[in-house]
Amino acid sequence: MNREDKRARSRDESRAERAERAVPAGSLPSETYKRERTPPGQFLREVRAELRKVAWPSRREVAVYTVTVLAVTTVLATLIFGMDFVIREAALRFF
């Protein structure tokens, strides 16, 4: 059972308990309820477990993706610069 299932079960149990202790309308319960917090050690263990499940890209894939992003960015920047230049020149000649 993972953390998500435990928390869902805990929420369901809490809802059931609150339904049993239903307070009449207009009156407030005197005690406040706190959420249970996950201890830092457990949190870090669960983060590491989730990171093991990640499909990490290879070094070659990262290099290819980086070159692709740089190339597309350069092409788009050049295109936007060109359009800006043409529109600016046209506006200056028009006015």
In the chain, where the domains are located: 57-95
What's the pLDDT at 5? 83
Q: Please give the pLDDT value at position 13.
A: 84
Question: Of 42, 45, 40, 21, which Cα lies nearest the Cα of 31?
Answer: 21
What is the reported pLDDT for 9? 86
Give residue 32's pLDDT. Answer: 61
Distance, CA of 37 to CA of 28 (rounded, Å): 25
The more confident residue out of 30 and 13 is 13
Is the model's pTM score more than 0.85?
A: no
